[in-house]
Amino acid sequence: MGLQRPFIDFSLAPGAWHGLDVAGNPYAVTEGTAGGTWHQSASIINGVSTLNAPENPVTGLVLDANQTTEVDFGNYCTCGSGGRTLGLWSNPNGKLKLADGATGMNYEFGILDALNLRTANGGNFYLNLANAQDTNYTTFRNWLLGATATNMAYMLSAQLAAMRMDVEAGCVNPNNFYKPFGGTIAR
Helix (H) / strand (E) element for 18: namely strand 17-18
Summary mean pLDDT of the chain: 82
From CA 187, how far away is CA 176, in angstroms rounded?
10
Domain map of the chain by residue range?
7-77, 86-184
Burial pattern 44-62, b for ≥16 Cβ within 10 A else e, equals bbeeeebeebbbbebeeee
Please tell me which residue, 88 or 176, carries the higher pLDDT value. 88
What's the pLDDT tens digit per position in 39-76? Answer: 788 888 888 988 888 888 888 888 888 888 888 888 77
Mean pLDDT, residues 89-101? 86
The CA distance from 187 to 184, in Å, is 5
Residue 5 pLDDT greater than 50, yes or no: no
Q: What distance in Å separates the CA atoms of residue 10 and residue 185, rounded to the nearest whole number?
A: 29
